[in-house]
Amino acid sequence: MIGEIWTYKATKPNDNLEKVRPVLVIGDDEENGLKFIDINYVIISSSASCGKYDVLIKENRALEIGLTKESVIKTTKIYTGTQTKLGRKVCDLPQDIKEEFKNKYKEYQKSIIENL
């Protein structure tokens, strides 16, 4: 599950409506001994602009892996939610995109620690 793109029924913070959207699963409760009650995920957006720590997936690559259009993995938009809101698995994140995500995520986490 970690490193996979899934559809997820996320609640939009501005209006509390649920929207099914792709997410990248980056963690779960397995090591906590909680039998996958919650997952950590980052949003994949097709409408947001690409920030300094985000990963852009160009349209042709997005279509190859099962997304519907050019998308941005929003590395700074980290959420915890219930596994029961997962829909269908879209794909395993390709290795090259996974490496780019890991590097951007490390940069982002480093900036947080350095600015505390």
Span 13-51, pLDDT tens digits: 778 788 899 999 999 877 776 666 889 999 999 998 999
Cβ-in-10-Å burial (0-12, 13-18, 19+) of 43 comes to: buried
At 10 the pLDDT is 84
Q: Under a CB-based contact definition with an 8 Å cutoff, are residues 7 and 43 in contact?
A: no
Q: How are beta strands 55-57 and 38-45 bridged, if at all?
A: unpaired
Tell me if residue 92 falls in helix, strand or coil. strand
What is the distance between the terminal CA atoms of the chain, rounded to a whole angstrom? 31
Mean pLDDT of the chain: 92
For the entire predicted model, the pTM comes to 0.89
- Which tokens belong to 95? 């290795």
| Total number of residues shown for the chain | 116
Which CATH number goes with the domain that contains 8? 2.30.30.110
Give the residue carrying structure tokens 């997410």.
23
- Which tokens belong to 21? 């959207």
At 1 the pLDDT is 86
Domain holding 31, by residue range, is 4-114
- Per the structure, the count of domains in the chain is 1
